[in-house]
Structures are given as C-alpha cells and as structure tokens.
Structure 1
Amino acid sequence: MYELRRFGGLLRQWRDRVTPTDFDHLVTGGSRRTPGLRREEVAELSDVSADYIKRLEQGRARPSLQVLKSLASTLNLAQAEYEHLCILTGHSITQPGGVNRRIGPATGQLLDRLDGVPVAVFDATWTLLRYNSLGAALCGHPAPSARRERNMAWRYFTSTTNCAAEPGRQDRDFEASLVADLRETASRHPSDDELTALLTALHAMSPRFTELWRSGASRRFERRSGVIDHPDLGPVRTDSTVLTVPEGDLKLLVFTAEPGSADACKLAKLQTLSSEKRLPA
C-alpha cells in the first residue's frame, strides 16, 4: 500500500532545506518566499515538469524509481532517507551482491544469551542458519548440507516440514506471507543465483506457490501458531514470532507457548533436559 501523502509532505519538507546557492546555474538574487528550492527549480534539476512536482507533493502521483533517484540526487538525500521514500512509494530497494548468509557477532551473542526460549536464525530467504541449543532440542538439528532442505518455504510447499499449522485462515496467511517475503527479497537481490534457483524449483514443484506468486500476495510473515511433532514429547503447540535483525538482514524466529499450558510444561521439561546434556561429566 502506497503512502503518497506522506511522501509528498517529505518532498516539500526536504526541498525547503536545500540551499539554492548549491547550484551554480540557479538565479538566487532578489527576495525568495521559499527558504529552499522552488518547485520549478526541483523540476528543472530533476528533469521533470513543475506540474508533476506539484502533483507529487499533493500525493496525487506515484513517482517511478528513476524519478525517485533523480529527486534524491537533487535534494541531496541520505541513503536512509532515499530508502524511506522507496518504502512509501512501493519501490523495492535493490542491494548490491547476494543475500547475506552469515551470522554476525552481535546476532550470535544474542542467540547464545536467549537460552530460555527456543530461537532459530534465518536469512532473508527463510533458510535456516542456526538454532540456539533449546531451538535445536525442539526442532531437531538440521542436516549439515543440503541448504534447500533447511529453507522454510521449500519444506512447507513440498510438504516436508515437521511443524504443521492449525487449519483454516491462519495457514493461508502463513503461506502467502512466505511468498511475499521471498518476492521482496528477490527484488532486492535479483542477482543471487541460489535464490533464483530456489524460486525456479518452487515454481516447478508447487502449483500453489506459483498461484500465490502470481496473485501478488503482500502479507509479511510476522507470527504463526503451529504444532511441532517432537520425537520424545509428542505434539508441542507453539506460537512463533518473527524479530528482524538489522545486522546482516537476518530474522529471528522465537518459539513460545501459552503460559501455564501443557505445552509450556513441555518446553520447560525440554529446557531441563537440554541443560543436563550440556553439563560437564
């Protein structure tokens, strides 16, 4: 969903802070009612019409990515400001290189210290990178190879996951959110070969994935309730919540259970067993 009125307000605000004397060919003599650049000047410097700038500022037009880049250059925007405008106008932010698949030191430290709840770390393609000790005890240690088998979308759409969602609307929201996340990541990393191969394989294996991809699903994956089939404890009903980690564009998936429930007791028992296994002999 576009937020063009907010975009227009920022455009007006940010052109007011630009000093006309920064541009040699602009006429700066005489009195000026505008503290920064006039609309006509922004239009000239950005190679668009003044009427178009007016419609942008009024929230009545959505700029192309090319126009957005020209405006960012004219207004001398910081990278974070440019990215914010991309978000408001519904444009993806293409990033150089491929998807980050390494856990940084800050994230690794956080993962080690969150030892009271099961946690998993995923990259931007929803490929598992690592569990903390309790997460591994709950979900099982992943295979050391076969990265695709550790991808949440691949396991879900090829029916190889060990975590089944509750039936109904929630499951439909979950699968749509996975597809939306993958599309957004692909738009930011169009040259990532591993991601391209994953998407090609998903389209080949899952008509449902292709259906959702073509539908333009846009819901982001934020939470899910499901049942994990544990080999010792049996079914464990959990709520999983997504936390975004800026370091390396990673995602933490934190598993919890309803306080006081039988499932919370199972997680507590699992924590005890996991701690006992880590104690020195």
Structure 2
Amino acid sequence: MAASHDGFGALMRFWRDRLAPADAGFTTVPGRRAPGLRREELAQLAGLSVDYVLRLEQGRATNPSAQVVGALARALQLTRADRDQLFRSAGLLPPRDGTVNTHVPASIQRLAARLGDVPIGVFAADWTLVWWNDMWTALHGDAATLPATERNLARALFGDGTARAAMRPIRSERGEDALAASIVADLKDAVSRYPADARLDNLVRELRATSDAFAHFWTTATASQHVTERKTIRHPEIGDVLLDCDVLIAPGADLRIVTYTAPAGSDDAGKLDLLRVTGGRTITN
C-alpha cells in the first residue's frame, strides 16, 4: 500500500491543532498562542522525538511503523475511524478486528489526565502498556525509553530483555507469585478471545519456550478477578513505598487502568507527594 505522506502530515497537524491541551493533561497558561497541542507536547505523549514529529508533519520522514502510528493515534485521542484513516494515510493497514485492541478512547484519556496526582498506566489485554502519566513515570520509570515491544508487563516479569532490566521490584501482600500468576491467567484468557492476534501468539510462544516460571504458571494459573491489593515498590530514590493498587476494566475497550494510591496523611502519601515534586529524580543541592 503506497503512503500519502503529505496527507499523513496534514492529518497530524489538523488533529494536533484540534486537541485541547487540558484534555491531554497539560496546564494552559494565559497568552498561549498554539490552539491545540504543541509539537513537543505531542512528541512527549507519543514517546517520540520532537524532530521526528516535525519531519513526519513536513513529509520528510517516510514509512512510519505501525507502532509509531498507533502511538500518535493514542496521543491525539483519535476515534477508531480517525485512527484507521491515519493508518491508511501512512500506507498501513489499520488494526484488524479480532486482535488485541491498543486504542485508548479519548474519554479514558481525559479521565486519566484529570487524575494527574495519581500514578496511572493503561494496559491492553496482553498487558502492553499503551498510556501512562507523569506520576507513573516518576514511580516506575520512563516507559518511553523502552522499545515499544518491551513495554509489556509479561516481558518485564518473565523475559530477559530491557523490560525486565528496567522493572523496579514490586512485592504484593498476597505473596511472591501473586502478580506473576494473575498476569499469566490474563494472557490465557486473552489468547482464547483473540486467537487471530499474531503478536499475542508470538509473545506466549516465546515466553513458554524461554521461561520455566511462565511455562509453570501457564499450566497452573486459573482466571480470577483483580482485587485491590497492597504492593510495595522499591524506588531508587525514595526507597520502599507501600501503595494500594487497583485494576479497573474499561467496558467495551478491553483495557486495564492500573492506579496506585495511599491513605491521606500517611508516610507513603508523603512519598507520592515527593515524587510529584521531583518527578522521581534525585534532588541535588
């Protein structure tokens, strides 16, 4: 399929101008001239460089990958119809029905953006991280530094690549294996519902072949509802922080919205406040 690069860039600019910064989680200030998102804001949301976004809009960068187009569609909060148009304008086939959905509806992005004080990550049915906020980055590290294929919780738990190396230690009050077992059970359920998804099939085949722990849980794990559980996350700057973790299911979108909170006035709430101020970085005098 031949790409229409001028059309792709024009669509990007049109939808960037259309999206209100507040709906994307950015604070607007008086005198702001840009009617919508700035290029650097779109780049930040999509996990791309500003230069690459500029070259895409100007038609100087050609053949963007499906991962890049998908990230832009999510960042621009496109409807499924608009997302498909963006894919076609890049010379790509839109994602097929019957495969794992990585599209995050605008309503969910607006909701998550307004909860900026809380670490929030949005995962697809295969536990690929498809949207996250600044507090998530402060708590867990910046997923944008990982290749798109490594932004997957199953790879972080059972793989041997950059996802595993970047994952900060997490301990559940339900036991050492609770998180791992629940993720594998979810993947088993996803495989049954998305039998035509090649990416999901490849993920499961790879982990079953390379991880004894994954293969064990694949045999033994059973489906269960996600419940609120307390997790201790070891942060390189603030140490251990104990938080309530909730997994909310977005009806109709098959997405998992993961949030972390702490009781008001607790030491752990104070640690979240510190992360909010510092962004998780070291404070130097």
Higher-Rg member (1/2): 1
Identity among equivalent pairs (%):
35
- The reply on whether 1:112 has 2:113 as its aligned counterpart is yes
What value does the CA root-mean-square deviation take over the aligned residues? 2.2
Query: Closer, same or farther in 2 for the Cα pair 1:239/1:111, shift >3 Å?
Result: same
Q: From 154, 162, 170, give the equivalent of 2:168.
A: 162
Three-state SS of the structure 2 residue aligned to 1:97 is coil
Q: From 216, 223, 227, give the equivalent of 1:222.
A: 227
Three-state SS of the structure 2 residue aligned to 1:110 is helix
d(CA) in 2 for partners of 1:120, 1:216: 24
Q: Tell whether the 8 Å contact from 1:107 to 1:247 is kept in structure 2 after alignment.
A: no
Three-state SS of the structure 2 residue aligned to 1:227 is strand
Q: CA deviation at 1:128?
A: 0.7
Three-state SS of the structure 1 residue aligned to 2:260 is strand
Q: CA deviation at 1:203?
A: 0.4
Q: Tell whether the 8 Å contact from 1:178 to 1:220 is kept in structure 2 after alignment.
A: no
Equivalent residues in 2 for 1:90-239, closer than 5 Å? 96-143=97-144, 146-158=147-159, 160=165, 161-166=167-172, 169-239=174-244
Residues 64-119 of structure 1 show CA distances to partners (whole Å, capped at 9, x for unaligned) of: xxxxxxxxxxxxxxxxxxxxxxxxxxxxxxx9421111211111111111112111
Q: CA deviation at 1:188?
A: 0.6
Query: Closer, same or farther in 2 for the Cα pair 1:102/1:232, shift >3 Å?
Result: same
Unaligned runs of 5+ in 1: 1-94, 275-281
Q: Tell whether the 8 Å contact from 2:172 to 2:178 is kept in structure 1 after alignment.
A: no
Q: Tell whether the 8 Å contact from 2:182 to 2:221 is kept in structure 1 after alignment.
A: no
Three-state SS of the structure 2 residue aligned to 1:243 is strand
For residue 51 of structure 1, what is the aligned residue in structure 2?
none
Q: Tell whether the 8 Å contact from 1:165 to 1:224 is kept in structure 2 after alignment.
A: no
Query: Closer, same or farther in 2 for the Cα pair 1:254/1:216, shift >3 Å?
Result: closer
d(CA) in 1 for partners of 2:134, 2:144: 15
Q: Tell whether the 8 Å contact from 1:125 to 1:181 is kept in structure 2 after alignment.
A: yes
Three-state SS of the structure 2 residue aligned to 1:170 is coil
Q: Tell whether the 8 Å contact from 1:124 to 1:251 is kept in structure 2 after alignment.
A: yes
Query: Closer, same or farther in 2 for the Cα pair 1:142/1:234, shift >3 Å?
Result: same
**Structure 1: 4+ residue segments shifted above 6 A:** none
Q: CA deviation at 1:144?
A: 5.0
Three-state SS of the structure 2 residue aligned to 1:143 is helix
d(CA) in 2 for partners of 1:208, 1:255: 26
d(CA) in 1 for partners of 2:244, 2:206: 29
d(CA) in 1 for partners of 2:176, 2:224: 12
Q: How many residues align?
A: 179
Q: Tell whether the 8 Å contact from 1:225 to 1:237 is kept in structure 2 after alignment.
A: yes
Q: From 265, 270, 278, give the equivalent of 1:265.
A: 270
Residues 41-78 of structure 1 show CA distances to partners (whole Å, capped at 9, x for unaligned) of: xxxxxxxxxxxxxxxxxxxxxxxxxxxxxxxxxxxxxx
TM-score (normalizing by structure 1): 0.58
- The reply on whether 1:243 has 2:248 as its aligned counterpart is yes
Which piece of structure 1 moves more, 204-213 or 217-226?
217-226
